[in-house]
Amino acid sequence: MEKVTARVFRYDPSTDDTHRYETYEVPFEKGMRVLGVLMYIQENVDTSLAFRYSCRRKRCGSCGVLVNGKPRLACMEEAKAEMVIEPLPNLPIVRDLVVETNEYEERIESIRPYLVRKKQPQREPEKLLPGNFTAVRPLNQCIECFSCTSVCPVNGIQWEGFSGPATLIQLARRMLDPRDDMDRIPDAGKAGFEHCVSCYACVNACPVEIGILDEVIEKIRKKYIEKEASLYGKYNRTWGDLVVKNGLVNPFTLMRRVSTFDQLLSNILMGIKFFLKGRISLKGKKIPNMDEIRTIQKVIGEKR
């Protein structure tokens, strides 16, 4: 590869009516990253190209861009012969590849992303056992690049009340820290954790490979349903109850048991249509060997 052809998104909201793409040819150097391509363009071709960067080594999280439609850190992503470079989606554009993250940073601030300690340690230096921090350690790797935010479908439709995966990581960091004394459950509710659709888009996009669903959001869900009587908790428990009762989950029974009275009322017409199509089974199917499920459940209960 001798050269890189980069099609770069250009837009200045203060002067341009709409965005455009400009194509640049950049001499390729061995080991070249996307950031190197952008720096070459800015230094040699067009000084007005705007993009963010700082550490150049995957620590600061400021150089996130879309490379051929996928969120990537410009400092780490290898330059390819042909690339389309665009700003991260789901975030307002400041100029060219620079996006505004203030709103999401404020959301992180709102959940008080710091340790709150009511009791001081018994002695200094405080003794910390590594085993107590296994859940928190991977979350400390978050570099706040907002790649997760940029691909989250719920952030994409700007769903009111959902703070997004980046906020939930910071919340879980404190919630799971054994030194933290604050009740974080109200903040979890305010951050709208229940609006996560469990699609793993954030997990796929995270450059530092945080298990955002399994290690963050599901941990928040667990703590929340243990303490709060919420519709989400009812849904979650009902699912388990139906499995233990029938071995299978009949979606109609699940909906009927979880939905609020208003929801049921507004769904009556639809329910009739589903029923007429034979899509609703009033009596849920049961697996034949339920005794096995009950025995397994009993054994697990005894072990606890």
Partner 1 sequence: MKFAYYPGCSPQSTTRELDVVTRKIAKALEIELVNLNGPACCGSVEMRVNDPDLFYALNARTLAMAERQGLDLLTICDTCQLVLSQVNRSLQKDGELLDKINQTLSEVQVKYSGGVKVKHLLWILLTDVGPERIKRKIKFPLTGLKVAPFYGCHILRPKEALGFDDPDDPKSLEDFIRICGGEPVDFPGKMECCGFHNLPYDPMLAVTLTGKYLQEASKAGAHCMVTPCPLCFTMLDGYQKEANKKIGSQVNLPVFHLPQLLGLAMGMGKDELMLKRNMVSADEVLRKLGRV
Residue ranges binding partner 1 (CB under 8 A): 69-70, 153-154, 157, 159, 194-195, 197-201, 203-204, 213, 218, 221-222, 225, 231-232, 234-237, 239-240, 242-244, 247-252, 254-255, 258-259, 263, 270, 273-274, 277-281, 284-285, 287-290, 292-293, 295-297, 299-300, 303-304
Smallest Cα–Cα separation from 51: which of 83, 7, 99? Answer: 99
**Residue among 97, 103, 90, 100 nearest 201 (CA):** 90
Task: Please tell me what DSSP assigns to residue 222.
Answer: H
- 224 Rama class: left (phi>0) / alpha (psi -120 to 50) / beta: alpha
According to DSSP, the β-strands at 98-99 and 93-95 are: antiparallel
Nearer to partner 1, 23 or 289 (CB): 289
Which residue, 42 or 236, is less far from partner 1 as judged by CB?
Answer: 236
CB 153 within 8 A of CB 199: yes
Preceding omega of 125 cis (within 30 degrees of 0): yes
- Ramachandran angles phi, psi of 66, nearest 5°: -95, 125
| Residue 71, φ and ψ in degrees, nearest 5 | -70, 130
Round to whole Å and give the CA distance between 19 and 214: 38
